[in-house]
A and B are shown apart, each in its own frame.
Chain A
């Protein structure tokens, strides 16, 4: 049996009658003790308890607890009494009352009284001055001083501990959230840094080349054969610059436009994009397996979904193994607030550990002999992030690649 709950075998009233010795004990306790029923009617109280009331003991019996102790008639006290009657084993609070002399703050404890069978039949209230013993003269000062420092009684310590634990849990939760946000910010910042780095490289390199080429140009002897070579390279450099500029406009455009969103059936749309690439699929002898729930609807820009799927399928076609026909599988899973689409292929794959930080970067390329600009997966990531999702990948050399796309759930 729990020491913070009182138990009775018969009715509460019946138990309170047989009180010869117990009555004596109660009256010699220096704390106020009050027994009340589930309707908050006072059934018994000791001598000390009536010190806290204007009523005499006989007048107090049968009265609502708030009439006997008006200082309990407030939200905090009502809540604590309700908690005790709801089974809360130690409900404690501090209550200021100034009705009886200069008593000051009072510590109130409420515990439930249960019938043996477990039903709650009432509660027990204890009242003690916050500072204990009689209060007069200099002791009033002492008492008010003690009110300023934490009350060190066992109950209040466990109460403070409970409060601290609750605060600690809350603090940890907030800290976890902050940590997550910080990680997210660091990641975004790194992405932006890489973006700026790569872009500035792709602008700087051809500009520097153009400057050098102009210096090498033989203006004194125009028919010098080197001039033809130089002119050719000037043209290439300008082409490189204009391509980078075009890519930049595309990327900036993505971030600025607010594309129209619409409801799209995911399985249906995957089929549609696959059929657009039918010829390449046939040429690769590709097998497609769409294990996507027909019911999944997404609300997002169709243009984005189209370009993401088109890019990923094209990549699977491009980086397929020459040793086996392409097997392309689409699966969905629910994860927290996301619908996760997995695009799985059995292609040549790449070294995940080595390239995990660069795979979605701008102008990053990982295969020597396959043409590519290194823009596709960067755009995929950008579009997914604009939609509030995220993208991850796993890959094994000569086994295949799986791209995980997280779409926000409807």
Chain B
């Protein structure tokens, strides 16, 4: 399995972020994994690194239910950044929501690679690795 360079999580739930990072480390999903508790901060980080292929994440996990700027709001702005990235970036929605509406809405966004229901377990990470990064 190929280990990715960088993974970024955008979620206001610190415990979820802890779980994701621990699981990523345990299976060597990415060399570096970081998180942002606020969508706006995640967006800012992407803006600053969009032409730096070492810093720009290979994969982003985005939560839906966040205060102020939620996942959908984030996607609107992310869309305009996407063409400026100097390498391919995969974005996964990562939510505890099992609502059809959310899943369908994610499907309507071309910039969303897939919709993943929490938790981001080791099995799900391995599946993502083999399906999208091998």
Contact = CB atoms under 8 A, between A and B. Distances in A.
Contacts of A263: none
B18 A365 contact: no
Contacts, number: 51
18 contacts: A197-B97, A201-B96, A205-B16, A205-B96, A205-B118, A206-B15, A208-B118, A209-B13, A209-B15, A209-B16, A211-B119, A212-B119, A215-B121, A236-B15, A366-B67, A366-B68, A367-B68, A368-B40
A368 B19 contact: no
A216 interface: yes
B53 to A, nearest CB: 30
Interface of A: 197-198, 201, 204-206, 208-209, 211-213, 215-216, 226, 229, 233, 236-237, 364-368, 374
Interface of B: 13, 15-16, 18-19, 22-23, 38, 40, 65, 67-68, 96-99, 118-119, 121
B67 A233 contact: no
B68 A208 contact: no
Given A197-B97, A204-B97, A213-B15, 18 more contacts: A198-B65, A201-B96, A204-B98, A205-B16, A205-B96, A209-B119, A211-B119, A213-B19, A216-B19, A216-B22, A226-B22, A233-B18, A365-B68, A366-B68, A367-B68, A368-B38, A368-B68, A374-B67
Contact of A229 (B18, B68, B97, B118): B18
B68 to A, nearest CB: 6
Contacts of B67: 364-366, 368, 374
A212 B121 contact: yes
Given A213-B19, A365-B68, A374-B67, A201 B119 contact: no
Contacts of B38: 368
Nearest to A229: B18
Contacts of A368: 38, 40, 67-68
A212 B124 CA distance: 13
